[in-house]
Amino acid sequence: MINETFTELKLFSFGNSLKKLGEAIQRDITEVCKNRDSSFDPKLFPILYFLQKFEKSTVQKLADYLQITHPAVIQILNKLKELNLIETMSGLQDKRQTYSKLTKMGEGLLNNWHELYSDIKNVNNEIIEESGYDVFNMINSIYNLLKQKNYKQRLDEKVKKRIMQQVEIITYNKKYREYFKQLNYEWLEQYFFVEHEDDKLLNDPEKLIIKKGGQIFFARLNNKIIGTCAAIKIDKYTYELSKMAVTKKAQGKQAGKKLALSVIGFAFSKKAKFVTLLTNKKLFAAINLYKQLGFEIEPEEVKSNFEREIFRMTLLLQ
Average pLDDT over residues 300-313: 80
**Under 8 Å between Cβ of 261 and 289:** no
| Residue 154 counted as domain residue | no
Average pLDDT over residues 294-312: 82
- Pair 125, 191 in one domain: no
**Under 8 Å between Cβ of 71 and 78:** no
| Residue 213 counted as domain residue | yes
Q: Which of 149, 177, 206 is the endpoint of a domain?
A: 149
**How much is the pLDDT for 163?**
73
- Pair 116, 217 in one domain: no
Q: How far apart are CA 263 and CA 170, in angstroms?
A: 12
**How much is the pLDDT for 263?**
93
| Residue 97 counted as domain residue | yes
Q: Is the pLDDT confidence value at 306 over 80? A: no
Q: Look up the CATH number of the domain holding residue 221.
A: 3.40.630.30
The total domain count for the chain is 2
- Pair 174, 232 in one domain: yes
- Pair 243, 281 in one domain: yes
Q: Is the pLDDT confidence value at 140 over 60? A: yes
| Residue 157 counted as domain residue | no
- Pair 64, 168 in one domain: no
pLDDT tens column, 184-203: 998 888 888 888 888 888 88
pLDDT tens column, 91-130: 666 666 788 888 898 888 888 777 777 888 888 888 888 8
Side-chain-side CA neighbours of 40 within 13 Å: the count stands at: 20
Measured CA distances, 133 to 121, 127, 130, 271, 305 (Å): 17, 10, 8, 52, 67
- Pair 178, 129 in one domain: no
Closest among 196, 189, 279, 206 to 240, alpha carbons compared: 279
**How much is the pLDDT for 243?**
92
pLDDT tens column, 257-273: 999 999 999 999 999 99
More confident residue, 34 or 241: 241
Q: How far apart are CA 221 and CA 163, in angstroms?
A: 10
- Pair 11, 141 in one domain: yes
87 contacts: CB under 8 Å, gap ≥ 6:
81, 100, 101, 102, 103
The SS3 of residue 38 is coil
More confident residue, 3 or 131: 131
- Pair 128, 197 in one domain: no
Q: Is the pLDDT confidence value at 38 over 60? A: no
Q: How far apart are CA 275 and CA 238, in angstroms?
A: 6
Average pLDDT over residues 218-234: 91
- Pair 133, 72 in one domain: yes
- Pair 179, 243 in one domain: yes
| Residue 196 counted as domain residue | yes
DSSP 216-229: EEEEEETTEEEEEE
| Residue 111 counted as domain residue | yes
Cross-sheet strand order for the sheet of 238-246:
168-171, 215-221, 224-235, 238-246, 274-279, 311-316, 296-297
pLDDT tens column, 8-29: 556 667 777 777 877 888 888 7
- Pair 256, 129 in one domain: no
Domain residues for 21? 2-149
- Identity of the residue numbered 304: S
Q: Look up the CATH number of the domain holding residue 135.
A: 1.10.10.10
Q: Which of 94, 115, 149 is the endpoint of a domain?
A: 149
Q: Is the pLDDT confidence value at 2 over 60? A: no
- pTM equals 0.58
| Residues, the chain | 318
Q: Mean pLDDT, the chain, as a whole number?
A: 83
Residue 174 has what DSSP assignment? G
Q: Which of 117, 149, 181 is the endpoint of a domain?
A: 149
Q: Is the pLDDT confidence value at 1 over 80? A: no
- Pair 174, 99 in one domain: no
Terminal Cα distance for the chain, rounded? 48
| Residue 14 counted as domain residue | yes
